[in-house]
Structure 1
Amino acid sequence: MELVVARVGRAHGIKGEVTVEVRTDEPELRLSPGAVLRTEPASAGPLTIETGRVHSGRLLLRFAGIKDRTAAEALRNTLLIADVDPAELPEEEDEYYDHQLMDLDVVLEDGTEIGRITEISHLPSQDLFIVERPDGSEVMIPFVEEIVAEIDLEEQRCVITPPPGLIDDRAVIASARDAEAEAEAGASPEAEKSGDDA
């Protein structure tokens, strides 16, 4: 199975190093010296990692055969792809590979269907599940312990306990007065028009 583990960023210095945007929870395993990675586009690779180091919080890699800034810059935006055994599991108990989470059914604790995971977005602060709902719309679910209560790979489901408002139809209106005001605002388009004329 193929996993995208990083995306090449800009060249760093003049000796062929590049910054990389890491897309794996195990960079020390996937992006270590000696690793051979396929690329997208395929014409850029395969690439063999020669050295790796962290500089100012960013991972810098140098690939075999990439000796100067011009060659490094030519790799910008290239995706680095590792071959992973589909049966392989992360070392940590509560960690998952993206391919394990894709297509899981997302449900509430009472069994109410929310949708299924179609994409996982890796942001600097947290990961997000992009969930496609039965009506075709999408909702984003932060992959955090407070919201994702259970992941059951055998049952192919993800149980969530979202706070009010995260899933649009579960928003809670603070008071009856707010509900009345909202209903009145929706029922009187003339009020909006008169404001425009002023």
Structure 2
Amino acid sequence: MSELVEVIVGVIGRAHGVRGEVNVEPRTDEIERRFAPGAELRAGEGGKLTVESANQPSGRLVVGFREIADRTAAELLRGRVLSVRVPVDEQPSGREEYFDRQLAGLAVLRADGTVAGTIVQILHSPAQDLLVVDVDGSEYLVPFVKALVPEVDLAAGTVRLADVAGLLDDQAQEG
């Protein structure tokens, strides 16, 4: 049996309607996978919720849980963090996609192969994800796009950056 890791998949927001459905702020790119009917999620301190329905009217995630019968019960769960325990070696459903936990801690290589720093965090912005790279105690944000990060090698524990001036250097001269 493989080791399990707890992954945050969303945060419960306000109640939606009177039947106990709630708005959920997703913290995953795999909404269909994590909020599939029958999926069991952890809701904070020891609570377990079973997904009964999930849909996205107007782009918002609305989830019905088997254990929440009415609006009053739904309101009591507002702000609870939803998580799921998954095998540590689980892979994303999409090709060339990565979980944050796979990227955090990887060594960052410059285009010439020299070690520049370490990924300490991944920020999810509306435009694209950003790698937070620690270089000798200073943090740099690198857009996680193929043009700037052409190679991710999980087996080697590295990501390689493109040869672009200024990605990890405040003093870079523009040409």
- Unaligned residue ranges in structure 1 (runs of 5+): 175-198
| Change beyond 3 A, Cα 1:172–1:10 | farther
- 1:141–1:51 distance in 2 versus 1, CA, 3 Å: same
Q: 1:22 aligns with which of 21, 26, 33?
A: 26
Tell me which protein shows more helix as a share of its residues.
Answer: 1
Going from structure 1 to structure 2, the CA distance change for 1:71 and 1:114 (only over 3 Å counts) comes to farther
- Cα-to-partner distance string for 1:92-117 (whole Å, 9 max, x where unaligned): 22011222112000121112333211
Post-superposition offset of 1:15: 2.2
Report the Cα distance in structure 2 between the residues aligned to 1:32 and 1:150, rounded to whole angstroms. Answer: 32
1:67-146 residue pairs with structure 2 within 5 A? 67-134=69-136, 136-146=137-147
Match of 1:172 in 2: 173
**Could you say which residue in structure 1 is the equivalent of 2:162?**
161
Q: Distance in 2 between the 1:124 and 1:66 partners?
A: 31
Q: Which amino acid aligns with 1:155?
A: A
Q: Structure 2 counterpart of 1:20, which letter?
A: V
Normalised to the residue count of structure 1, the TM-score between the two structures is 0.77
Q: Runs in 1 of length 4+ with deviation above 4 angstroms?
A: none
- Report the CA distance shift for 1:168/1:109 in structure 2 as closer, same or farther (over 3 A): closer
Percent identical: 46
Q: Any stretches of 5+ residues in structure 2 without a counterpart? A: none
The alignment of Structure 1 onto Structure 2 pairs a total of residues equal to: 171
What displacement does 1:172 show? 2.3
1:85 Cα deviation after fit: 1.2
RMSD after superposition: 2.0
Matched with 1:42 is 45
